[in-house]
């Protein structure tokens, strides 16, 4: 087994008292930009968790991004993470994710493309399946998820 087995559990490099767990593949250390959200019950717990992560990353020769590392009260403040917006106990696609999705759909469904409807559908389906699969954790599907879209716009 030449390389160290990096599975979560007993062989994880995380200290047991830390409440954050990673799943790492064989031979994979840390990606350049590992993203974490740590949820705590109190501001004191959050400060301790931040201190633990800062110590742990420094020991590993890593640093936390100073402007992206922050402690907030998730009950009263929103935050964006991996394409989602977490706000007031709910999660939705963040506006930037939704706008990128709409731009992709518009580009694939131009009325002046000259493509057959079957080809447009075949091109669009993987995008729709992928987007809805990624955002399936939002709790609403299809038309409800896209209810904020402006259906009156047409692609030029």
> Measured between alpha carbons, how far is 147 from 144 in angstroms, rounded to an integer?
5
Q: For the chain, give every domain's residue range.
A: 8-71, 95-145
> Measured between alpha carbons, how far is 71 from 89 in angstroms, rounded to an integer?
16
**Number of CB atoms found within 10 A of residue 84's CB:** 19
Indicate if the pLDDT at residue 112 is higher than 60. Answer: yes
Predicted TM-score (pTM) of the model is 0.62
> Measured between alpha carbons, how far is 14 from 93 in angstroms, rounded to an integer?
30
Residue 108 in tokens: 């694939």
pLDDT more than 70, % of the chain: 67
pLDDT (0 to 100) of residue 63: 84
pLDDT (0 to 100) of residue 145: 58
Q: Residue holding tokens 């131009």?
A: 110
Beta strand pairing call for 84-87 and 79-81? antiparallel
Q: How many residues does the chain have?
A: 156
Q: How confident is the model at residue 119 (pLDDT cuts 50, 70, 90)?
A: very high
Task: Give the mean model confidence (pLDDT) for residues 55-74.
Answer: 86
Q: How confident is the model at residue 28 (pLDDT cuts 50, 70, 90)?
A: very low
Indicate if the pLDDT at residue 19 is higher than 60. Answer: no
> Measured between alpha carbons, how far is 103 from 109 in angstroms, rounded to an integer?
10
pLDDT (0 to 100) of residue 24: 45
Residue 145 in tokens: 């998820």
pLDDT (0 to 100) of residue 31: 58
């Amino acid at each position: 087994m030449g390389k160290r087995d990096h599975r979560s559990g007993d062989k994880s490099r995380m200290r047991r008292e830390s409440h954050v767990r990673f799943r790492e593949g064989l031979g994979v250390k840390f990606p350049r930009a590992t993203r974490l959200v740590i949820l705590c019950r109190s501001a004191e717990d959050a400060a301790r968790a931040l201190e633990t992560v800062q110590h742990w990353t420094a020991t590993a020769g890593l640093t936390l991004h100073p402007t992206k590392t922050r402690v907030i009260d998730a009950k009263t403040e929103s935050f964006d993470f991996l394409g989602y917006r977490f706000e007031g106990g709910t999660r939705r696609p963040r506006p930037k994710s939704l706008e990128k999705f709409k731009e992709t759909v518009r580009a694939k469904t131009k009325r002046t493309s000259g493509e057959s409807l079957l080809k447009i559908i075949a091109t669009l389906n993987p995008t729709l399946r992928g987007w809805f699969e990624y955002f399936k954790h939002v709790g609403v599907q299809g038309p409800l998820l896209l209810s904020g879209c402006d259906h009156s716009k047409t692609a030029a």
